Amino acid sequence: RQDGLTGTSIARTLSALRTMHRFLETEGLIDNGAIMRVRSPKLPHAVPKPVSVTGAADMIEEAGKKDKRPWVQARDVALITLLYGCGLRLSEALSLTEEAAPRGNNPGPLNIMGKGNKERQVPVLPIVAEALDRYRNLCPHILTPDQPLFRGIRGGTLHPRQAQQIIAELRYALGLPDSTTPHALRHSFATHLLADGGDLRTIQDLLGHAQLSTTQRYTEVANSDLMRHYNAAHPRSKN
C-alpha cells in the first residue's frame, strides 16, 4: 500500500505467492501456512464499460481511413468488426487462423477455443465475413492456412500490443473514453445484445463464461442505461 499499489494489484500478487507456496509445499521444499492466512484486500465491484453503439460504428468507420495503406485499413476494420460482431477476446481474435476464419456471404459458426481450453461456437454475421474477405484480398503477405490471419506490417503475427495501440489511436482520434479497449468491444457485444432482448443464458454461451454470475454483470450496465434514459425522458424526473 505504501508503494501505491491498488487493491487489485495486491490481490494478484498474493494469489501468485499462494500458488508458489502451494507448489513448494507439494514438493516438500517449504511449509508456509502464514501466507495462506493473509487476508486479500476487498476489491471494488467492477461494472463492464462498453463502447456505445455509435462509438463502435465510429471506430469501424475511422479505422477504414486512418492509414494510407488500403490493406492496413482493411485489417483494422476486420479486426474491430470481428471483436465487436462476435464478442471475442483479443487473444482469441489474434489466434484465429486463415483456414478457420469465416468467409463468404453465408458464413457458418466460428469454433473458438477460449479460456481453460473451453470450446464454443459463435455465429458470424455476413458483415464480419465480408470484412475478413476484404482484408484477405488486400493483404500483401502470404496467409498460410494454419497460421494466424492477422499480420503486422512486416508480415509477422499481429501482436496484442499492436492491436491495443490501434484501438488507442482510434480512441484518441474520436475522443472516446480511456475505457475504450479491445476488451470493451467484447463488453459492447454482450451489453448491446442484452439491451435488444438477448437471453442471458445464450449470451453466456456466446461469451464462453463458465459461470452465469459473470454474464450477469451486464444486466447492471443495461439497468443503469435504462434508468439514465428514464430520468432524461420522464416529465416528472426534473421535479
Catalytic residue among 21, 187, 192, 209: 209
Catalytic residue among 21, 151, 171, 186: 186
Task: Give catalytic status of residue 172 as yes or no.
Answer: no
Catalytic residue among 89, 151, 187, 192: 89
Residue in 81, 76, 84 with CA at minimum distance from that of residue 150: 76
Task: Give catalytic status of residue 230 as yes or no.
Answer: no
Contact (Cβ atoms closer than 8 angstroms) between residue 188 and residue 86: no
Catalytic residue among 21, 75, 151, 183: 183
* 206 vs 126: CA distance, rounded Å: 17
Sign, CA torsion 211/214/217/219: negative
At 19, list the grid cell. 500458488
Task: Give catalytic status of residue 89 as yes or no.
Answer: yes
- Write the CB contacts of 96 (distance below 8 Å, at least 6 apart in sequence): 82, 88, 110, 148, 149, 150
Task: Give catalytic status of residue 192 as yes or no.
Answer: no
The pLDDT profile of the chain, 239 residues, written as one tens digit per residue, is 788 877 878 888 888 888 888 888 888 888 887 887 888 887 666 677 889 999 999 999 999 988 899 999 999 999 999 999 999 999 999 999 999 998 887 788 888 888 878 889 999 999 999 999 999 999 999 999 999 999 999 999 999 999 999 999 999 999 999 999 999 999 999 888 888 888 888 888 888 888 877 777 777 765 555 445 435 544 555 55
CB atoms within 10 A of CB 174: 15
Distance of CA 207 to the CA centre of its chain: 10
Catalytic residue among 12, 115, 118, 228: 115
